Chain A
Amino acid sequence: AQSVTQLGSHVSVSEGALVLLRCNYSSSVPPYLFWYVQYPNQGLQLLLKYTTGATLVKGINGFEAEFKKSETSFHLTKPSAHMSDAAEYFCAVSRSGTYKYIFGTGTRLKVLA
């Protein structure tokens, strides 16, 4: 069975500071990993994804994530937070992209001026 754990339901950072949102997964098969962002009253928008190949993946809006198999992690980072990054972020796992997407419980990012 697959599962996703997001550590920290709420994260606050100052504008310009590093953003680090944590995601750990459990999967018995090679996973596909995703980060989605959800703005208020909106659907989910894909930030970035890991399928195969390079373990450091770059996404939209300056975000990136690194797949670390030994740590079963896929943490999301951004060097400098912007006010517009305030949203809820969801990590998800899929069994090699052929099956359902399983989401974590989400991390709400607050950016302080």
Chain B
Amino acid sequence: EAGVAQSPRYKIIEKRQSVAFWCNPISGHATLYWYQQILGQGPKLLIQFQNNGVVDDSQLPKDRFSAERLKGVDSTLKIQPAKLEDSAVYLCASSPRGAGEVNTEAFFGQGTRLTVV
């Protein structure tokens, strides 16, 4: 079974530029998460999708971050414009069941390390 795929692995951009990350979850997984992991901290949820609908985006800085999950499969996370404090690892994860159902594990991708200079 293929795992969660993310690309790119690394990205360096200047502040005020835009950037996009891509995630392909495990086939058939209904729930998809984007987490932000700042150096020295635990992952923080940015947005959670069930299929192609948003379940929770309460911690997504909507003035600069956006995310979509077209057709309920792969997802993109965009930052525009980037700030220095956006430097972090962006982790995508997926779980097999939808919101309201029991998920006993989230499967994580390797992440995209973003450096904003």
Contact surface of A with B, Cβ cutoff 8 Å: 4, 9, 32, 34, 36, 41-46, 49, 51, 90, 92, 94, 96-106
- Specify which chain A residues have a CB less than 8 angstroms from the CB of B107 in the assembled complex: 46
Grouping DSSP codes into helix (H, G, I), strand (E, B) and loop, the B interface class, with mixed when no group exceeds half, is: loop
CA distance A103 to B99 in the complex (A): 19
Contact indicator A98/B48 (Cβ below 8 Å)? no
Could you tell me the distance between the alpha carbons of A55 and B113 in the complex, rounded to whole angstroms?
A: 36
Q: How far apart are the CA atoms of A49 and B111 in the complex, in Å?
A: 22
Interface residues, chain B, CB within 8 Å of chain A? Answer: 4, 33, 35, 40-45, 48, 56, 91, 93, 99-111, 113
Counting residue pairs across A and B whose Cβ atoms lie within 8 Å, the total is 63
> CB-CB < 8 A to A4: which residues of B?
42
Given A98-B99, A98-B100, A99-B99; A105-B42 close (CB under 8 Å): yes
Residue ID in chain A nearest B9 by CB atoms: A41
* B103 & A44 in contact (Cβ 8 Å cutoff): no
Given A100-B33, A100-B45, A105-B41, check contact A45 B101 (CB 8 Å): no
A46–B106 Cα distance when bound, in Å, is: 8
With contact pairs A100-B45, A100-B48 given, residues A49 and B104 touching in the complex (Cβ less than 8 Å): yes
**Beta-carbon contact of A103 and B42 below 8 Å:** yes
